[in-house]
Amino acid sequence: MTDDHFDANTDRQGFGRDGLDQLAQRAVDAVLRLVRRASALAGGMLFLATAISTGGFFLGIATLEGGIETVWVVLASVFALIAIISMATTLLRLRSVRNNTDALRIEIRSLLTGNKQAQRTVIETVESTEASQEDSVVAVSRQFFSLQSEVSDRSGQFKSLGDALTALTSFAGLIALATFITFVFAGLSVIFLIALALP
């Protein structure tokens, strides 16, 4: 390999050591940019989920009576915990990524020396995330599925990278779940408030 250039379209690669180091750093930077954005969104969603589900929970207790109140307490508790725990889990995973950037860089560098397909997948992921920085966090997080497939059968060898990719690719599903539950609580809260206001 004499050419320090990668061309994904023609399937030619010839990275030297510096080229691999630069690509690994670009990949880490792409991950950390998304982690920062996802953390901010997950933190906001955790606050909303906690506040709205808690408010809805107590409004339901104030509005309902008898057996239906008991059912509400059980179901509302379960779904509120699901929403809150899903966002707390997301934040913990994202924080772990930030705390292991050195290991992440080393593992990406190791992945790049493995085979041409790995190099191609990394560069395509990096370029797609860099080109879509203005897109939503959920949309950008989907760019990492192909890279996750590349390392899924080697999770023991690439633990930090695998954990980072799990944090990013699971983000969309977890925040969608928390958002849905929060909207349900918000809608029910409005109904409970109307019921309480009626004579």
Cβ atoms of 173 and 40 closer than 8 Å? no
Q: How many domains does the chain divide into?
A: 1
The domain of 148 spans 16-197
At 33-89, the pLDDT tens digits run 889 999 999 999 999 999 999 999 999 999 999 999 999 999 999 999 999 999 999
- pLDDT tens for 149-185 read 777 777 677 888 888 888 988 998 999 999 999 999 9
Indicate whether 108 belongs to any domain.
yes
Structural contact between residues 53 and 185, judged by C-beta atoms closer than 8 angstroms: yes
- Within a domain: residue 174? yes
**Nearest one of 8, 12, 39 to 164, comparing CA atoms:** 39
